[in-house]
Structures are given as structure tokens and as C-alpha cells.
Amino acid sequence: MDLAEIFRVMRRRWYVLLPGLLLTAALAVGVALVVPVTYQSQSTVALLNSRKATVAYDGNPFLSTQTSLTGMADSLARNLNSDGSLRELKSRGANGTIEAKIADNAQGPLMWLTVTGTDRAAVLDSDRILTAYAKERLDQFQKQQSVAPKAMIRMTTIVPPQSPVAQTKTRLEYLVMAGGLGLVLSMGAAFYVEARKRSPKPAPEHGTAPVPSAASAPSLAPAPSAGTPVVEETLTMRRLPQWSRPAGDGPAAAGSTASRPVVAGASAAEPLDEESTHGHRPRTGDR
């Protein structure tokens, strides 16, 4: 089946395809209403070495980076994703989905603090709350270990919380799935109806003779009534007269003529011809 045939089937079965397309459109609208638009805000923070460790670098923390800072960033991200931290953030007014992790392809102790939700303004406020809370948790870890203030690891904001951006990928995927499913079902229904219309009539079973109709039945002659004699007609060939036969055929011809069959049903009073009586035709002089 080529593309032209597909379009012809769609045109012939429009009464099946059109309701399916309308239902598909309604399904897409329903998905758009059920799956809301989500927004995402993200900030980037970095961990810096302590003031005591940067004395040799004239107090520049960006010149003094250690691998221990990356380990501390991983520990802080795990703590921010814990249930206790999430409850604390909720109590402070943060909403949506909160996630903290080490930045992808980071060359240092960089962290991403991300908040995702359906309310654009609430997402931005929640990201700001998360950024401030991350710095507090870092200080709490070090104070619990009685670290001197000059030896504490610090945090700085590299990228502040960004304006929330709509995340349409998930919603678009659901819309494409709903539209594709509705279109496939509509086309399937149209071709199913087309196949049913084109299906041939079932052939008679093997060994079963078709019953002829009254119109096609041959007309039969009426059977003869009882007591009516059936006359058999016998075709006989008239033989040549004896005077026109070759010599030597007289007796044989006479015998064959004498044995000439008689037509059944002939009248007994009908006189026989002279050829049958005498076996030869009289000549003119004998009369």
C-alpha cells in the first residue's frame, strides 16, 4: 500500500477518522491541563579555603585550592538532600523539589543548588532560601568540630539564584505521546473498517454443491402420464434399389432388405411398398 492509497482510504473513511482526531485533540488538551508547566531556578556556589591557609597566597583563596574542599562539597550536598534538611527548608518557606549536587564537569569544589516547582515566584524565593541555608549548614559542621574561625572553610556565591525558566520537555513528551497514540488508534480504526468493507463473501464448504436458484434452474418437460405408450423412433436408412446396385448383391441385398426394421407404431393396414414385398423394383415391361 502506497501513500496515495492511504490518503484514499482516509478520504473514504473520514466518518471514522474525524471522531478519532477530535478525541485525540481532546486528549491533548486534557494532558495540557493535567500536566502543568514547571519552572526551575538554579544557583552555583563554591567552597573556599580558610584565611589561615591563604596567608602564603597573600589571602587570595582562589590560588589555594585543595582536594579536601571537593570532599567537603560532596558531604554538604548529601546533607542538604537529607530528610532533616528538607523539613527545615519547608519550615522556612521553601517549596518545590530541592536538589543539591556537585556541578557537572567542575574543575573545583563547585555546587549546584536547584529548586523546581509550578509557581514561578515561589521557585525563586525557595532557591534563595536554599542558598542561604547551605552556608549555614557548612558553618554548623565546622562549629560542631570546634574548628577555629580562621581555619574554617568558607562559601561564596558564584552564580546567584537565576530567574525561573519553564521546563517544557516533560510536558511536551506527554503531549507527543497522547497525540501519537490518538492518531494511531484513529488510523487503525479507519483501516479496520476499510478491511471489513472489502472482505469477500465466504466460499461454500468443500464437497457442498451450490443450490441453484429458481431463476437459474432448467425447465423440465412434464413427465408423461400413466398408461401413455412411449413410442421409440428408429431411424432407418433407405437403401438403394436393386437395379442400381452392383451385380452379386441380390441375395445379400434381399436378405438385408427383408430384415429392414419397421417403425414402431405404424398402422397395420398401411400397405408395404413393392421394394419390401418383392425385393426388387419391377421394370417397365413387366407392368
- pLDDT tens for 59-72 read 888 887 777 888 89
How many degrees, rounded to 5, is the angle at CA 46 between CA 45 and CA 47?
135
Q: 181-199 pLDDT, tens per residue?
A: 888 888 888 888 888 877 6
Scanning 13-119, the segments in alpha helix (DSSP H) are 14-34, 67-80, 83-91
CB 185 within 8 A of CB 17: no
CB 138 within 8 A of CB 81: no
Q: How far, CA to CA in Å, does 116 sit from each of 19, 54, 217?
A: 38, 37, 84
CB 224 within 8 A of CB 230: yes
The answer to whether residue 276 scores a pLDDT higher than 50 is: no
Q: What is the pLDDT of residue 211?
A: 54
Could you tell me which residues are beta bridge partners of residue 159? 44
Q: How many CB atoms sit inside 10 A of residue 213's CB?
A: 7
92-96, 231-235, 281-285: which is most confident: 92-96
26 vs 217, which has greater pLDDT?
Answer: 26
Average pLDDT over the chain reads 76
Mean pLDDT value of segment 158-182: 88
Q: State the pLDDT confidence band at 274, using cuts at 50, 70 and 90.
A: very low
What is the domain class of 38-167 according to CATH?
Answer: alpha beta
Q: What's the burial of 100, exposed, middle or buried (CB within 10 Å: 0-12/13-18/19+)? A: buried
Q: How many CB atoms sit inside 10 A of residue 211's CB?
A: 7
Mean pLDDT value of segment 124-131: 95
The phi and psi torsions of 173 (rounded to 5 degrees) equal: -65, -45
CB 50 within 8 A of CB 139: no
Gap between the Cα atoms of 245 and 253, Å rounded: 9
Gap between the Cα atoms of 77 and 160, Å rounded: 17
The answer to whether residue 287 scores a pLDDT higher than 80 is: no
Look at residue 163 and give its three-state secondary structure.
coil
Gap between the Cα atoms of 141 and 136, Å rounded: 9
